[in-house]
C-alpha cells in the first residue's frame, strides 16, 4: 500500500511541474461532445454508467446488458484519464450512479504517459466519485490489447496488474479483465478488430459482454 501511495504522490508532483497545459489542451477538444450529455435525462431511478474513451463510446449495445437497471453511456472521443477527470461532473457525477464502469489508460499509454501518471489521474477520479457517492462501486475495464498498439503491450499489462491489485484492497473497486480473453497464446486476436486494428468489431464486443454483464449491479 505504501508503495502505491508513493507512486501516486510522485506522479502528482511530476504533473504539477508545468506539464499540465498539454493535458488541458488535449482534453479541451472534447468540450462540445461532452456538452451533449446535458441532453440525457436525469431522474431518481438507479443508474449504471459506462464512460471512458472510444471503446466505450462505440459499445452500442451496452444499454441492453441489463433489463433491470438503466444503463447510460457517456464515452467520448479518444479520451484519457485526465480528460475524464476534467469532465467528471458532466460525464459521471450529474447522473448519481450506483455503479460506474470506466475505460481509460489505452489512449494515455499511446500518448506516452507513464503508468504512475495514469494511476494518479485515476485515483483523483475515484476519490471524487466516492466523495460524492461513498457507496458507488467503480469497475475499471482493463486496458485492452490491440494489434495497432501491441508494441506497448507490456505497459498495458503492468497498468492492468497494478489496478487489479488495487481492486483487491479496495472493496468499492472491481477489475473487469477483458484483456486476457483477447489474447491467443502470446498474441492479440486479430479477429476481434475492425480494419483500423484498434477498435473492436461485434465479435470483440460480444467477448466484452461475457466479462462485463455478470458484473452489472441490477
Question: pLDDT for 102-149, tens place per residue?
Answer: 999 999 999 999 999 999 999 999 999 999 999 999 999 999 999 999
Q: How confident is the model at residue 14 (pLDDT cuts 50, 70, 90)?
A: very low
Lateral strand order in the sheet of 47-52: 70-73, 47-52, 99-103, 137-141, 173-176
Question: pLDDT for 27-55, tens place per residue?
Answer: 778 889 999 999 999 999 999 999 999 99
Q: What percent of the chain has pLDDT over 90?
A: 84
Question: pLDDT for 138-187, tens place per residue?
Answer: 999 999 999 999 999 999 999 999 999 999 999 999 999 999 999 999 99
- As a CATH number, domain 2-215 is 3.40.50.1110
Average pLDDT, integer, range 48-74? 97
Domain residue spans of the chain: 2-215
Amino acid at each position: 500500500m505504501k508503495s502505491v501511495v508513493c507512486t501516486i504522490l510522485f506522479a502528482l508532483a511530476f504533473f504539477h511541474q508545468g506539464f499540465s497545459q498539454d493535458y488541458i489542451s488535449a482534453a479541451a477538444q472534447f468540450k462540445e461532445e461532452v456538452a451533449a450529455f446535458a441532453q440525457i435525462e436525469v431522474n431518481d431511478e438507479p443508474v449504471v454508467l459506462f464512460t471512458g474513451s472510444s471503446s466505450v463510446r462505440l459499445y452500442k449495445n451496452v444499454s441492453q446488458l441489463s433489463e433491470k437497471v438503466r444503463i447510460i453511456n457517456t464515452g467520448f472521443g479518444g479520451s484519457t484519464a485526465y480528460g475524464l477527470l476534467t469532465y467528471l461532473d458532466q460525464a459521471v457525477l450529474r447522473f448519481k450512479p450506483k455503479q460506474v464502469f470506466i475505460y481509460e489508460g489505452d489512449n494515455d499509454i499511446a500518448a506516452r504517459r507513464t503508468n504512475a501518471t495514469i494511476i494518479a489521474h485515476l485515483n483523483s477520479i475515484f476519490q471524487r466519485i466516492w466523495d460524492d457517492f461513498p457507496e458507488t462501486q467503480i469497475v475499471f475495464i482493463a486496458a485492452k490489447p490491440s494489434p495497432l498498439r501491441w508494441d506497448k503491450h507490456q505497459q498495458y499489462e503492468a497498468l492492468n496488474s497494478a489496478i487489479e491489485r488495487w481492486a483487491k484492497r479496495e472493496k468499492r473497486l472491481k477489475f473487469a479483465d477483458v484483456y486476457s480473453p483477447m489474447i491467443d497464446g502470446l498474441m492479440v486476436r486479430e479477429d476481434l478488430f475492425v480494419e483500423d486494428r484498434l477498435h473492436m468489431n461485434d465479435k470483440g464486443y460480444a467477448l466484452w459482454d461475457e466479462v462485463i454483464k455478470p458484473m452489472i449491479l441490477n
